[in-house]
């Protein structure tokens, strides 16, 4: 497919063009809608597109820029919302036949923040059913594919968002992360993916199952866009009593401070995870870049015991709650893997929950104490590169606790900020992600490290392998 001059620009770059009147939101939105339409038959990343609404919003944004009155630097920038998240007037299907077309009555908090900044929401992106797994396929919407290689998955559960961003549709797209669902698809598609501190961006509905481990965020192609998006979306919301207090902070300030003198720990296995040799080698090489930047990097011993026994009661218990809300006659239409886990979750007891929360608290305390001596922890994001698109999740060939999210879920339990950055390509040409984990609530520390690494890595968009894969589509 042919590329336009706008396809691979960052939101920050587009904003500058708007300010100089060298581009307009109208032409950007038109370009992105056309690109999304051309790619949809191949990627299957979108579940809803509101072209007319987007074009109308673009005209309003263009008028504001012409008057010199943009709502934010992101006024007129197009994006999408993951279909686990409510947009007023649109259905939230969650990849499930158990849902219907009833429109949401209000926006999620993150959507309100986007709209308040003048961002234009083109539509909604694919997710596995109820966001349950680290691959993106669902009974309702089918299989989403990776623009690096259409035979592979873009990861999950924000796989639609990652596929669009990596294919040049929008500078960034919304995702959320309850066990790795921003970081894993970012790793599998060569993107920047920050899971902010828990509560940094309000969660709504805050009483949904599993809400106390989910962070909202974006999948982007640049660290600056990620920081600017956090500026736009961070801050408390009365609908989420656990959202963090407002901070008088601009997350773009200090991005260029560097990491010289920082003490950084590197764990290739966290004490119990086995990554593919190619992944390990790429992570070691990526960690070396921090040494080249003046940081002290050292491998650290086992971090903690396997977390399955602590995470699973919270995780499958939440799906059991969902199952109880779904009419029995619809159970056969659920993803079989999800249904099996949800049925297993029906046996979770109050004592199981209590022990899980006790272990969750201990893990958070232990890692906070560990960070007294280390500014960052580096680790892989996933044990493997992107698996084939038709991979059966939680199967004998792809067990969830060894190949799914073993590296990412600890930070969901602790609420720490953590990010994925491109670490390079396997011999098969598939991206691998470096995970950068920061101290509790230190989003600015993680962003600074991300930017330093970005500047040293030489990773820029568009990626030649993606262009080659998309050529002819």
Please state, in angstroms and rounded to a whole number, the distance separating the CA atoms of residues 324 and 344.
12
67 burial level (CB within 10 Å; 0-12, 13-18, 19+): exposed
Helix (H) or strand (E) holding 263: strand 263-266
What is residue 210's three-state secondary structure?
A: coil
**Six-digit token string for 162:** 């990652």
Cis peptide before 462 (omega within 30 of 0): yes
101 CB-contact burial (10 Å; exposed 0-12 / middle 13-18 / buried 19+): exposed
Rounded distance between C-alpha atoms, residue 472 and residue 462, angstroms: 16
CA–CA separation, 264 and 338 (whole Å):
38
**Which of 125, 112, 121, 105 is closest to 53 using CA atoms?**
121
Question: Residue 473: enclosing H or E segment and its boundaries?
Answer: none
H or E segment at 126?
A: none
**Domains located in the chain, CATH noted:** 11-309+336-470 (3.90.1300.10)
C-alpha–C-alpha distance, residues 321 and 74, integer Å: 38
| Predicted TM-score (pTM) of this structure | 0.98
* CA distance linking residue 105 with residue 135, whole number of Å: 29
For residue 160, the model assigns a pLDDT of 98
- Please tell me the predicted confidence (pLDDT) of residue 307: 82
Cα(262)–Cα(298) distance, rounded to whole angstroms?
11
Catalytically annotated residues: 82, 157, 181
Radius of gyration of the chain (CA): 21
**Residue 154 and residue 148: Cα distance in Å, rounded?**
9
Averages of pLDDT over runs of 10 residues in the chain (473 residues) are 86 98 98 98 98 98 98 98 98 98 98 98 98 97 98 98 98 97 98 98 83 94 98 96 93 98 98 96 98 98 84 88 95 97 94 91 96 98 98 90 92 97 98 98 98 97 96 87
Handedness of CA 415, 221, 444, 107 (dihedral sign): negative
DSSP state of 347: T
- Grouping H, G, I as helix, E, B as strand and the rest as coil, residue 425 is strand
CA distances from 247 to 200, 201, 250 (A): 10, 12, 9
Token pair belonging to 311: 């995470």
Number of residues assigned to the chain: 473
Per DSSP, the three-state class of 454 is helix
Give me the pLDDT at residue 343, please.
Answer: 97
Closest CA to 181 of 202, 200, 155: 155
Tell me the CA distances in angstroms from 270 to 179, 307, 315, 345, 382, one per residue in order.
16, 11, 21, 27, 12
Contact status, residue 218 vs residue 174, Cβ threshold 8 Å: yes
């Amino acid at each position: 497919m042919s590329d336009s001059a706008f396809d691979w620009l960052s939101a920050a770059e587009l904003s500058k063009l708007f300010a100089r009147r060298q581009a307009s939101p109208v032409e950007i939105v038109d370009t992105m809608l056309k690109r999304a339409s051309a790619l949809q038959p191949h990627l299957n990343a979108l579940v809803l597109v509101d072209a007319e609404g987007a074009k109308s919003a673009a005209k309003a944004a263009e008028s504001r820029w012409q008057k010199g009155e943009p709502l934010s630097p992101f006024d007129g920038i197009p994006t999408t919302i993951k279909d686990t998240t409510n947009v007023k007037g649109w259905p939230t299907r969650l990849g499930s036949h158990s849902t219907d077309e009833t429109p949401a009555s209000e926006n999620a908090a993150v959507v309100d923040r986007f709209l308040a900044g003048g961002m234009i929401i083109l539509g909604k992106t694919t997710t596995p059913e109820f966001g349950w797994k680290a691959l993106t396929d669902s009974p309702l919407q089918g299989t989403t594919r990776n623009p690096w290689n259409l035979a592979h998955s873009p990861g999950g559960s924000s796989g639609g968002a990652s596929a669009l961003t990596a294919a040049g549709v929008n500078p960034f797209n919304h995702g959320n992360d309850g066990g790795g669902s921003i970081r894993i698809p970012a790793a599998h598609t060569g993107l920047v993916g920050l899971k902010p501190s828990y509560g940094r961006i309000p969660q709504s509905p805050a009483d949904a199952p599993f809400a106390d481990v989910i962070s909202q965020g974006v999948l982007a192609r640049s660290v600056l866009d990620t920081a600017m998006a956090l500026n736009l979306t961070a801050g408390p919301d009365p609908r989420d009593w656990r959202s963090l207090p407002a901070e008088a902070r601009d997350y773009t300030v200090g991005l260029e401070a560097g990491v010289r003198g920082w003490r950084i720990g590197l764990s290739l296995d966290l004490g119990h995870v086995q990554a593919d040799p190619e992944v390990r080698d790429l992570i070691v090489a990526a960690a070396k870049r921090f040494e080249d930047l003046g940081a002290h990097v050292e491998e650290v011993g086992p971090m903690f015991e396997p977390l399955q026994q602590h995470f699973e009661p919270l995780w499958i218990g939440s799906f059991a709650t969902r199952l109880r809300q779904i009419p029995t006659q619809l159970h056969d239409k659920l993803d079989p893997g999800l249904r099996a886990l949800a049925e297993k979750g029906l046996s979770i007891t109050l004592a199981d929950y209590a022990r899980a929360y006790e272990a969750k608290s201990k893990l958070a305390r232990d890692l906070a104490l560990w960070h007294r001596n280390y500014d960052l922890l580096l680790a892989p994001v996933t044990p493997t590169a992107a698996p084939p698109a038709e991979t059966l999740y939680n199967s004998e060939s792809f067990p969830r606790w060894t190949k799914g999210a073993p590296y990412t879920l600890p930070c969901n339990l602790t609420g720490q900020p953590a990010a994925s950055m491109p670490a390079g390509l396997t011999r098969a040409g598939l991206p691998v992600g470096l995970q950068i984990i920061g101290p509790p609530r230190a989003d600015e520390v993680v962003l600074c490290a991300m930017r330093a690494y970005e500047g040293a890595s030489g990773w820029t968009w568009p990626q030649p392998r993606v262009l080659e894969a998309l050529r002819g589509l």
